[in-house]
Structure 1
Amino acid sequence: MKIATYNVNGVNGRLPVLLRWLEEEQPDIVCLQELKAAQDNFPEGAIRNLGYDVVWHGQKSWNGVALLSRVGKIHETRRGLPNDPDPSQSRYLEAAVNGVLIACLYLPNGNPRPGPKFDYKLVWFDTLIDHAATLAASGAPVVLAGDFNVMPAERDVYKPQRWVDDALFAPEVRAAFFRLLDQGWTDALRTIHPDETIYTFFDYFRNAFARNAGLRIDHFLLSPALKDRLVDAQVDRQVRGWEKTSDHAPVWIVLADR
């Protein structure tokens, strides 16, 4: 089963790119972030026409997450984190799909740091960690996927010295990521590529994509029940080079059958 995550950076404005990628790569399950679309303005019909079931948690102009499946119905289990610090922001969607619990998330950016946006990022991250502990302890096969807005290590960022004051590379945020991993989650992309320079985001400015000046901020974390089912994890880097594309590239994993 092939599961993908993709920050589309505006689902309606990037719809031709999204549909092209879905048709070419045919992932079985997809997590989308940064829809930037109100609940009643999501392109449901275009996605269903490609054979996908879909649920989404929209928000006008900002945020927004969605789950797509072509391997069975999506059984939504949660919309928003328990004790969400700001339920008005659409950042978390969880559902059972084809025998796996999928959590699609869009963690706050947190800039500028310091400031209220950074404080909110830390609170949201702590809330996610609390909920993830319950998921990990359940023994269920769970995938946490999405845009975490954190580069865990120096090898996950081009020229890390330029990012020391940024909320995505702050010590507190990186420490939170590793507190999450310490619950028993497996970083799928880094497991398959332990020593490679591999990025999932390339800024629109300064010719970042052509220079491979990127960040690894889109992650797949697998619960202990899925660790041994991981077969592959890759980045569809070519999509970042398409016309009118997102500044993120899709990331995907392959899980073996039980």
Structure 2
Amino acid sequence: MKIATYNVNGINGRLPVLLRWLEEEQPDIVSLQELKAPDEKFPEGAIRDLGYDAVWHGQKSWNGVAILSRVGKIHETRRGLPGDPDPTQSRYLEAAVNGILIGALYLPNGNPRPGPKFAYKLAWFDKLIEHAAGLYASGAPVVLAGDFNVMPTERDVYKPERWVDDALFAPEVRAAFSRLLEQGWTDAVRTIHPDETVYTFFDYFRNAFARNAGLRIDHFLLSPALRDRLLDAQVDLKVRGWEKTSDHAPVWIELADA
């Protein structure tokens, strides 16, 4: 089973890119972030025409998450993160698909730091850690997939010295990610690529993609029930080079059958 996560940076403005990628790569399950569209503007028809079922949690102009599946019906289990400090922001969607529980998330950016946006990021992260603990304790096969807006280590960012004051690399945020992993979750991409430079985001400015000056902020966390089923994890870098594409590249994992 191939599961992907992709921050599309505006689903309607970049719909041709999304559809092309779906058609070429045919991931079985997809977590999408940053839809930037209210629920009624989600392009359900175009996605269903490619054979995907879909559920989504939209928001006008900002945020928004969705789950797609071409391997069975999506059974939504949760819309919104429990205890979200600002539930008006659409950042979390959870569903059971083909025997796996998918938590699709878009963690707040948090800039500028310090300030209310950074405080919200830390509060949201705390609530995610709290909810994830319950998912982990359930023993279910769970995947947390999305844009976490955090580079966990210096290895995950080009020229880390330039990011010391940024909310994506702040010590408090990296510590929160570590607390999440300490519950027992497996960082799928790092498991497959323990020593390699892997980036999932490249700014539109300063020719970042061509220079491979990126960040690893899109992550897959696996519960113990899925750890031994992990076969591969890769970044579809070519998609970042397409015309009118997102500043993120899709990331995917492959799991063996149960």
TM-score range, shorter chain: over 0.9
How far apart are the structure 1 equivalents of 2:207 and 2:141?
Answer: 40
Instruction: Find the residue that maps to 1:253 and give its secondary structure.
Output: strand
1:88 corresponds to 2:81 = no
- Tell me by how many angstroms 1:83 deviates: 1.2
Output the amino acid matched with 1:34: E
Q: Match of 2:2?
A: 2
- Tell me by how many angstroms 1:84 deviates: 1.3
Output the amino acid matched with 1:176: A
How far apart are the structure 2 equivalents of 1:158 and 1:140?
Answer: 36
Q: CA RMSD in A?
A: 0.3
- Tell me by how many angstroms 1:223 deviates: 0.5
How far apart are the structure 2 equivalents of 1:227 and 1:136?
Answer: 12
* TM-score normalised to structure 1 length: 1.00
1:23 corresponds to 2:40 = no
Which aligned segments of 4 or more residues in structure 1 are displaced greater than 3 angstroms?
Answer: none
Q: Match of 1:124?
A: 124
Per-residue CA deviation, residues 62-115 of structure 1 (Å, 9 max, x unaligned), is: 000000000000000000011111110000000000000000000000000000
The aligned runs of 1:204-243 (5 Å cut-off) are 204-243=204-243
How many residues were matched structurally?
Answer: 258
Q: Match of 2:44?
A: 44
How far apart are the structure 1 equivalents of 2:234 and 2:14?
Answer: 22
Q: Match of 2:160?
A: 160
How far apart are the structure 2 equivalents of 1:205 and 1:60?
Answer: 26
- Tell me by how many angstroms 1:145 deviates: 0.2
Output the amino acid matched with 2:112: P
- Tell me by how many angstroms 1:191 deviates: 0.2
Q: Match of 2:106?
A: 106
Per-residue CA deviation, residues 104-152 of structure 1 (Å, 9 max, x unaligned), is: 0000000000000000000000000000000001000000000000000
Output the amino acid matched with 2:14: R
The aligned runs of 1:136-147 (5 Å cut-off) are 136-147=136-147
- Tell me by how many angstroms 1:250 deviates: 0.1
How far apart are the structure 2 equivalents of 1:18 and 1:82?
Answer: 29
Q: Percent identity?
A: 88
Instruction: Find the residue that maps to 1:226 and give its secondary structure.
Output: helix
How far apart are the structure 1 equivalents of 2:165 and 2:78?
Answer: 34
Q: Match of 1:148?
A: 148
How far apart are the structure 2 equivalents of 1:27 and 1:48?
Answer: 14
How far apart are the structure 2 equivalents of 1:34 and 1:99?
Answer: 26
How far apart are the structure 1 equivalents of 2:166 and 2:225?
Answer: 34
Give structure 2 stretches of 5+ with no counterpart: none
